[in-house]
Amino acid sequence: MLSRRNLIIGSGATLAGGLVLTPGAALSASGTIALPTDLEAERMITVTAAPTRANLVAMTFDDGPHPTYTPALLDILKKRRIRATFYVIGQNVARYPDIVKRMVDEGHEIGNHTWRHPFLTKLGSKNVLRELDRTSDAVYRAVQRIPVTMRPPYGALSRKQRAMIHDEREMPTILWSVDPEDWRRPGSTVVASRIVGGARPGAIILSHDIHGATVKAMPAALDGLIEKGYRFETVSMILGRRDWSKLRWRLPKLAQG
Ligand code: NI
């Protein structure tokens, strides 16, 4: 079986057996996941919006999954055939793996939002990577795939840390270009109008699926965007990367885990 110990995330990671893995490397007999080779060429370290003139936006939802609000949001998205990206907190994934499974089954992308939502700027590299790896591991356990982008809690991550994460885990740091500040609980009408009013081609829109008012705002926000001619893509897609749901994660037969 695949154990946490031999689930290797990203490049340059050292296997329990001492082997060093690089992305796109041929699979060895050891327990490794080879990252898709298209990630190797990317030099995208920090992203706030997508460089596109097309009427595309990416909805992103942070801090979940939440046991009731997230399923309600998934219903809203499904009804409109909208695919979004969820920046999940690892310990919530461990609690609600079935909700993460549903997200993936319905075409959404999963991003990494750390294990326990700390201020990463206060942590050293080792602990930053631990926050990310634990979360990717929980996501892997739930849906047999791992996030390829991360978002720092509070958007707080130094330039040096962003480069370190890119080097060590091949993950670009995804920030946002539209922030309705839903966490301040301004009410669902305000949240919806800020989202619709703030949208531009290539916008990455931040919201949180742990607030009832945010989920309540979504029908009006999404319909407002549709009315303005916007279409929705996941973060990977809007950045011109391969559709995360279609990435093929090659898993070798594992030795004793
Ligand atoms: Ni957050």
pLDDT score of 34: 47
Give me the pLDDT at residue 43, please: 63
Ligand 1 centroid to Cα of residue 51, in Å, is 24
Average per-residue pLDDT for the chain: 86
Q: Which residues are catalytic?
A: 62, 208
pLDDT at 13 over 90: no
Give the integer Cα–Cα distance in Å for 87 and 152: 9
Contacts of 77 (CB under 8 A, 6+ apart): 59, 83, 84, 106, 108, 218, 222
Q: How far is the CA of 62 from the centre of ligand 1 (A)?
A: 5
Per-residue confidence band for 249, with pLDDT thresholds at 50, 70 and 90: confident
Close Cβ partners of 154 (under 8 Å, ≥ 6 residues apart): 119
Question: What's the pTM value of the predicted model, to 2 decimals?
Answer: 0.83
Which helix (H) or strand (E) segment holds residue 46: the answer is strand 46-47
Per domain, the residue ranges of the chain are 45-242
* Tokens coding 5: 């110990």
pLDDT digits (tens, 9 = 90+) for 111-157: 999 999 999 999 999 999 999 999 999 999 999 999 999 999 999 99
**Phi (first) and psi of residue 206, to 5 degrees:** -95, 135
pLDDT digits (tens, 9 = 90+) for 202-240: 999 999 999 999 999 999 999 999 999 999 999 999 999
219: CA distance to ligand 1 center in Å?
22
Task: Report CA(90)–ligand 1 centroid distance (Å).
Answer: 11
Model confidence at 253, pLDDT cuts 50, 70, 90, reads: low
pLDDT band of residue 18 (cuts 50, 70, 90) is very low
Q: Write down the pLDDT at residue 243.
A: 93
Second CATH level (architecture) for the domain 45-242: Alpha-Beta Barrel (3.20)
> Ligand 1: distance of its center to the CA of 125 in Å?
19
pLDDT of residue 251: 59
What does the CA dihedral 234, 222, 136, 252 come to, rounded to 10 degrees? -40
User: Strands, E, within 51-121: which ranges?
Assistant: 56-62, 85-88, 109-112
